[in-house]
């Protein structure tokens, strides 16, 4: 189907383009849509699980293909295991534990891809969804099981987030913010905002990567009034191959939790230890917020209707820290601890004033409590490691590694009620990453050159779920 000339002109003038389905008579696509805006791809998906999957695969076919090809390179380099290893792993330990609803959705994604000429199967989509827990938890656990003490315990420690309520916010209601840190080669592709209307459970409004059925870096608003975000626990160790995949539990909790208790129950049931996080959760119906620090053996919970919980990849529970991590809480120079101190300052500075505007400012912050100055480094809320001569040793990132903050999102209770949030693609500080000069300065990362591109900072942009 040709896109009308007038539509192309309008897209050029507005900086966005609505992509019409190429098969308008296919009823599966009748309620789906896509819009490209401010560095993001907004998609609306609606219907039965397989229909939602088909819409997803069809509308994002090119992007899913690009992400899988990127992941094949990145996983092999970062974990020493190729794509066939991961396909075998998900067949053996994941597929039988995926709910039928999500099996159908991922099968639908495959059908949508095939309709666009891409030849993948459902196991490729499962690997994509489980790549973090597989590559950074399961693989080190396998190594340690084979030879105790041999695992390189570098579980990811990425993201800066908060959730606040009561006297900390301008209206006494919940506000939430998150910026995502990851390898740039992956993060430049974390650019989808999905509005999903399933036939059962809650409507979901979240960021994600192409081909995901969950958020992944986890910023979710649900039709049940639940707000969800998280930051990972640095240098976490442990995995249970008999457990339910984290991506399945995360999607299920978002779709079916209607309270904080529901969320905790779903996330802890069948917990496999993969992608161990400090989950920050709020319920706009009760104005309560919580932190669930979800390890494999330990999962303490903090709850309040008047306070703030922050995350920058530091564990909070001493027992969990001792039993399940190798994290050094006394190292004032590492990224999690430096940002933790900055969170403490920001929480007091903005107490009673946190709204959507303040949240955007906070998630864009580039002041270092280590150097007492603004800088582009591992130590700031909207950090960069590609400009940092130390790198992040605790994550296995060498000096000047191309990683750091790749995007941000914020919302408030009033906005969440209408399924609305602000999003920023690229580093919220406004700084650009330019690939060509970076590779000239750091040829040791040339192996990423085929898939690592410029990542320019777009403006903060308001996104809202499609009106029904």
pLDDT per residue over 77-113, tens digit each? 999 999 999 999 999 999 999 999 999 999 999 999 9
- Cβ-contact 417, 284 below 8 angstroms: yes
pLDDT per residue over 386-417, tens digit each? 999 999 999 999 999 999 999 999 999 999 99
- Round to whole Å and give the CA distance between 449 and 426: 18
Express as a percent the part of the chain with pLDDT over 70. 94
Q: Number of structural domains, the chain?
A: 1
DSSP 172-219: SS-EEEEEEEEEHHHHTT--EEEEEEESSS--EEEEE-TT-SS-SS-E
With respect to residue 80, please indicate whether it lies within any of the assigned structural domains.
no
| R_g of the chain computed on alpha carbons | 21
Residue 35 in this model has a pLDDT that exceeds 70? yes
- Its pTM stands at 0.94
With respect to residue 280, please indicate whether it lies within any of the assigned structural domains.
yes
With respect to residue 87, please indicate whether it lies within any of the assigned structural domains.
no
- Cβ-contact 382, 426 below 8 angstroms: no
- Round to whole Å and give the CA distance between 407 and 369: 22
With respect to residue 5, please indicate whether it lies within any of the assigned structural domains.
no
pLDDT per residue over 217-248, tens digit each? 999 999 999 999 999 999 999 999 999 999 99
CATH number of the domain at 299, please.
Answer: 3.60.60.20
Q: Among candidates 133, 129, 2, which has minimal Cα distance to 56?
A: 129
With respect to residue 78, please indicate whether it lies within any of the assigned structural domains.
no
Q: Residue 50: CA atoms inside 13 Å, Cβ hemisphere, count?
A: 5
Mean pLDDT (the chain) is 94
With respect to residue 177, please indicate whether it lies within any of the assigned structural domains.
yes
241: containing domain:
160-464
For 345, other C-beta atoms within 10 Å of its C-beta total 12
- Which residue has tokens 């920050």? 280
Q: Give the dihedral of Cα atoms 279, 40, 171, 174; nearest 10 deg.
A: -20
With respect to residue 215, please indicate whether it lies within any of the assigned structural domains.
yes
DSSP 119-135: ---HHHHHHHHTHHHII
pLDDT per residue over 334-370, tens digit each? 999 999 999 999 999 999 999 999 999 999 999 999 9
With respect to residue 150, please indicate whether it lies within any of the assigned structural domains.
no
- Round to whole Å and give the CA distance between 357 and 362: 9
- Paired tokens of 117: 């000429």
Q: Among candidates 395, 405, 462, 450, which has minimal Cα distance to 432?
A: 405
């Amino acid at each position: 189907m040709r896109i009308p000339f007038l539509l192309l002109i309008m897209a050029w003038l507005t900086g966005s383009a609505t992509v019409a389905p190429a098969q308008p008579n296919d009823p599966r696509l009748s309620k789906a849509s896509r819009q490209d805006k401010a560095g993001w791809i907004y998609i609306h998906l609606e219907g039965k699980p397989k229909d939602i999957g088909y819409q997803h695969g069809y509308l994002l076919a090119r992007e899913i293909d690009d992400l899988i090809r990127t992941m094949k390179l990145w996983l092999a380099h970062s974990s020493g295991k190729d794509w066939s290893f991961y396909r075998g792993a998900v067949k053996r330990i994941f597929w039988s534990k995926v709910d039928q609803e999500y099996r159908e959705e991922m099968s639908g994604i495959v059908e949508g891809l095939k309709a666009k000429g891409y030849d993948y199967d459902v196991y490729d989509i499962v690997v994509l969804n489980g790549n973090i827990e597989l590559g950074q938890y399961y693989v080190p656990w396998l190594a340690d099981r084979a030879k105790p003490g041999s695992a390189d315990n570098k579980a990811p420690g990425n993201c800066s987030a908060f959730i606040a309520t009561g006297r900390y916010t301008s209206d006494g209601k919940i506000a939430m913010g998150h910026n995502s840190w990851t390898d740039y080669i992956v993060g430049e592709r974390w650019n989808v905002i999905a509005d999903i209307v399933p036939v059962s459970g809650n409507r979901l409004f979240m960021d994600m990567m192409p081909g995901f059925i969950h958020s992944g870096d986890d910023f979710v608003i649900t039709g049940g009034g639940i707000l969800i975000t998280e930051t990972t626990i640095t240098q976490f160790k442990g995995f249970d191959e008999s457990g339910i995949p984290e991506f399945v539990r995360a999607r299920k909790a978002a779709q079916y939790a209607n309270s904080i208790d529901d969320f905790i129950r779903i996330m802890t049931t069948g917990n496999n230890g993969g992608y161990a996080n400090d989950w920050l959760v709020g319920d706009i119906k009760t104005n309560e917020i919580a932190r669930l620090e979800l390890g494999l053996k330990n999962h303490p919970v903090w709850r309040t209707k008047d306070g703030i919980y922050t995350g920058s990849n530091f564990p909070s529970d001493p027992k969990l820290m001792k039993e399940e991590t190798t994290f050094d809480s006394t190292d004032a120079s590492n990224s999690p601890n430096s940002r933790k101190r900055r969170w403490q300052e920001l929480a007091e500075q903005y107490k009673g004033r946190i709204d959507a505007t303040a949240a955007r400012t906070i998630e864009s912050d580039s002041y270092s409590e280590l150097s007492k100055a603004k800088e582009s480094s591992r130590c700031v809320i909207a950090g960069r490691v590609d400009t940092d001569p130390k790198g992040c040793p605790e994550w296995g990132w060498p000096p000047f590694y191309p990683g750091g903050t790749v995007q941000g999102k914020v919302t408030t209770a009033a906005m969440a009620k209408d399924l609305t949030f602000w999003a920023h693609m690229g580093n919220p500080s406004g700084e650009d990453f330019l690939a060509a000069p970076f590779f000239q300065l750091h040829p040791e990362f040339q192996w990423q050159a085929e898939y690592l591109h410029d990542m320019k900072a777009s403006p903060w942009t308001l996104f809202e779920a499609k009106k029904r």
